[in-house]
Amino acid sequence: MGVFSGHWPSESELDKLRQKVAEMSGRDAQEVRVVVSPYRICPLGAHIDHQGGTVSAMTINRGILLGFVPSNDTQVTLQSGQFKGEVRFRVDEVQLPKHISEINGLNEQIDSSKPQEECKWGNYARGAIYALQNKGNHLKTGITGFICGSEGLDSSGLSSSAAVGVAYLLAFESANGLVVCPTENIEYDRLIENEYLGLKNGILDQSAILLSSYGCLTCMNCKTIKHKLIRPPEVQNNHGELGNAYKILLAFSGLKQALTTNPGYNRRVAECQEAAKLLLQASGNEEVEPVLSNVEPDVFEAHKSKLEPDLAKRAEHYFSENERVLKGLEAWASGNLKEFGELITASGLSSIQNYECGCEPLIQLYEILLKAPGVLGARFSGAGFRGCCLAFVDADRAEEAAIFVKNEYRKLQPELASHINQGPAVLVCDAGDCARVF
């Protein structure tokens, strides 16, 4: 199967999930609660969230499903549709970040009897407990649950890790009767990723997953943590509304690598911070936190010649991308999809030239998307060190574009394309909603 679209979650997916949890727990399927935690895309705002930039995002109608029932005690029992083994622990166990566990020799002590694969996927659930404990929540009720991604979909580059973290947070909160607002859960998921797992990413992913609203573009200032939803106007054409005028195309490369094991991502973050530090020193503001959002654009223009070429490129990407986001929000609000798409494409080019991410297969995929019929704009999805590319495409030409991209990519990368055998090579989807519990 090469191209796919449709509703999510389907009734059959929900029924299968409820039945699976009922079998695991011995409870009635009607008792099973379901967390829907969507994947996100970032049309504009690539690689600037960790520097306090302004970003845009929306969810898609695919993501993580977590079916669960509250336990009668503190026990957590989890199974996965993607990974083998069973994760078991208690919600009242003290969870330590991975680097502390390793320093103390606890990792080996705790996990030596378990398959390595189980240990890795179980870390997100443990991380959710760590985050909740860290903020003073006393958990008394565990869950029996089954977690899975959208059927037949490679989630690389769609913030699947944040979607998983959010899903576990919502499940544990629901089971324990905790009322937690979305902005608190953004912080909780940041603790999972930054502190527990050691990934130096920003808060874009979890913010999009928790704050999005169907058909809107979520705009977030990652320095002030303030967000707003940009609602689209009606479009003066045959489609009537913006949501009916476009589809989102996701094209998968066949590349897989977790961000936590790829040094390129964290290295770029460090380079941005070094550029900020030097620019702040040059302007007499060295006491300020070294992130690029603390550097005024005119300071960058005045002192960029003092930066090494690589650092100058990282800063150039930050300032130009921040500007593209602001222009993109105006284009979206006015219903100008053509300009919005052009800004997305420019973002993709800057990610390649200035941020210098994207290996040959991803760049080829990006270039193929730009040639596809009806495509308005394209860029990498996710960090650009793995995964997929996204495009906005005219709704009437989405299926035609998807077939074109699938066929052209297979010609250039037959081996990688052959790895995409568990699901579609190209996915046609719609905008989604925020994470929620059924």
Rounded to the nearest 10 degrees, the angle between the axes of helix 204-211 and helix 160-175 is: 50
* 15 among known catalytic residues: no
Query: What dihedral angle (degrees, nearest 10) is formed by the CA atoms of 206, 209, 211, 213?
Result: 160
Which ranges constitute the DSSP H helices of 135-240?
160-175, 182-190, 204-211
State both tokens at 109.
């002590």
Q: Which of 49, 154, 205, 430 is catalytic?
A: 205
> Vertex 369, ends 219 and 325: CA angle to 5°?
20
Kindly state the helix (H) or strand (E) to which residue 340 belongs, with its residue range. Answer: helix 337-353
Sequence-separated (6 or more) residues with CB below 8 Å from residue 108? none
User: CB-based contacts of 50: which residues, under 8 Å, 6+ apart?
Assistant: 200, 201, 202, 222, 269, 272, 291
Distance, in Å, from the CA atom of 393 to the CA atom of 337, rounded to the nearest integer, reads 9
| CB proximity list for 6: less than 8 A, separation 6 or greater | none
Residue with tokens 């600037």: 48
- Radius of gyration for the chain, computed over Cα atoms and rounded to the nearest angstrom: 22
Write out the catalytic residue numbers: 205
